[in-house]
Structure 1
């Protein structure tokens, strides 16, 4: 069984506004509106499904927006099993200025209770027991649940020999590292935030990642925006680069990278092959107007242009 489980503990209804020119302090009328089930784990799920993978999405939702969220997932035919609670699932807005191409985001926070996580944990363990190849935990935590919630999920997966990919940031990432996940995926800013310093060179980025690996994390993937990405293992470093492409929307590109990488691992590809597929998916997402999505024809072209260089082996 190659089923991948995605965990989204703080999902959202993602609202996207297209506006010709955003004027602060004035009325801004949209030219297009799009509403989707959102959250980093949902973007990961969508990409895995588009690749043809076997995916199950889980997490915590609540209220009217939670029901809307689940209806959107069903419409996207993404198999799901979420815990429904009393709190209201958040709404996040991305306003895109068509004149400048700049994106302004408004991200709500959402409340939860520790008892909600405890109920979710029961559901999560039940799902793991049914047979899961790989788990992807993505995004922030609900306010009101403990910072080490991902640690608990990672440990439960590890007990059953299931790999766990963690994509979060800040204190939640710092705590999650303690549970030694299979892979973490900070971008350069997030990595620098962990070490409270700037990294001027690739060597410094690799050195920082190695410090994390010493704590038990198996692999660290650092995304570098238009400069590609780097995958650091205990003994090797892979650098991915791609030619300049026309960027339409970078929102969800990191999640798309995780989706491609996770799909590759679940299907038995090695780290290098999975890394290449992940970077190709992230690049493809950036070339589309949609968020956390890929086009298979474009992906095929992009894959051929991705270059993977093994730059260190010691």
Structure 2
């Protein structure tokens, strides 16, 4: 548990949260109704997941959300006990619903991301000002998708404002949003391997290639680059070293929320002033503990504590 009186503030931005519905079925059959063996409703959206995970790790954080309509009210009800603090921006329309289908016979997972409500530039600016004010000289987590009504460079604006105020921006997004955010020189970014390949425009066939591209991003002003590698763990490239974390083997139930849990784990260690090795280890432990959970349910803290000692971290000489 972090002493809230001594902790630097943590703000999490979640412009496009969702209600996540997960169905477990034997197998999808084209043009046929399939009855679920199990279903569940969870709060969703990357920023919301990070906020939920930080609460489980004992880190005080305020999550800034745009919500709309009846689905938005249902989401707020779900979040009442799952976030330490939230600031809601009410907009027109309906909060999106995301769907995940898990086939028990094939262990395949299908995900559909819904369409969120429109947010005007004026509304975005108002929420961003509150986000930056709360963040202060602490950590500002900028993550998730943007509504179609907003331009791709808005996260870059958020990064610049956080860092101009003396804070450190942590970014987890992809495609053009990530490309623009990198130009603003955030403290840390966390693409997965596919997102990094998309960013550079070609496949990365081995660890050397991943490290090379991460180093190039550092040359553009990003202090730390963490690349999540799924079952192979994660790579953290810092100004002084390259760390490779190995994930312990566990039964995988659902991968939804694993990346968000990794971000939360790293933020929790950064708040504590931990070493880069500890930051990477905690991120992997949280991610691995989350894939063991159904739907978009996140890790259990006791499982994180158990897995932490099973995460191997080595320094690479490449």
TM range, smaller chain: over 0.9
Any idea what SS the aligned residue of 1:92 has? strand
TM-score, with length taken from structure 2: 0.93
Check if 1:186 corresponds to 2:191: yes
Would the aligned equivalents of 1:256 and 1:292 in 2 still touch at CA under 8 Å? no
Task: Decide whether aligned partners of structure 1 residues 272 and 31 sit closer, same or farther in structure 2, where only a CA change above 3 A counts.
Answer: same
| Aligned residue in 2 for 1:221 | 226
What is the CA deviation profile of residues 125-184 of structure 1, one whole-angstrom value per residue up to 9, with x for unaligned ones?
Answer: 4423xx562111111111111211111111111122111110000000000001111110
Q: In the aligned structure 2, how far is the partner of 1:298 from the partner of 1:59?
A: 28
What is the CA deviation profile of residues 228-275 of structure 1, one whole-angstrom value per residue up to 9, with x for unaligned ones?
Answer: 110011231000013322111111111110010001101211211111
Any idea what SS the aligned residue of 2:80 has? helix
Any idea what SS the aligned residue of 1:15 has? strand
Q: Which runs of 4+ in 1 moved over 3 A?
A: none
| Aligned residue in 2 for 1:196 | 201
Check if 1:273 corresponds to 2:303: no
**Ranges in structure 1 where 5+ consecutive residues have no aligned partner:** none
Deviation at 1:290, TM superposition (A): 4.4
| Aligned residue in 2 for 1:113 | 120
Task: Decide whether aligned partners of structure 1 residues 74 and 148 sit closer, same or farther in structure 2, where only a CA change above 3 A counts.
Answer: same
TM-score, with length taken from structure 1: 0.94
Q: In the aligned structure 2, how far is the partner of 1:26 from the partner of 1:196?
A: 39
Check if 1:5 corresponds to 2:2: no
| Aligned residue in 1 for 2:163 | 158
| Aligned residue in 2 for 1:22 | 28
After TM superposition, the structure 1 = structure 2 runs for residues 55-70 of structure 1, keeping only pairs within 5 Å, are: 55-70=61-76
Q: In the aligned structure 2, how far is the partner of 1:210 from the partner of 1:77?
A: 35
Q: In the aligned structure 2, how far is the partner of 1:297 from the partner of 1:122?
A: 36
Any idea what SS the aligned residue of 1:121 has? helix
**Ranges in structure 2 where 5+ consecutive residues have no aligned partner:** 1-6
- Alignment size in residue pairs: 311
Deviation at 1:121, TM superposition (A): 2.4
Would the aligned equivalents of 2:55 and 2:83 in 1 still touch at CA under 8 Å? no
Check if 1:99 corresponds to 2:112: no
Cα RMSD of the aligned pairs, angstroms, is 1.6
Would the aligned equivalents of 1:255 and 1:292 in 2 still touch at CA under 8 Å? no
Deviation at 1:292, TM superposition (A): 5.1
Any idea what SS the aligned residue of 2:225 has? strand
After TM superposition, the structure 1 = structure 2 runs for residues 1-314 of structure 1, keeping only pairs within 5 Å, are: 1-110=7-116, 111-128=118-135, 131=136, 133-291=138-296, 293-312=298-317
Q: In the aligned structure 2, how far is the partner of 1:289 from the partner of 1:56?
A: 25
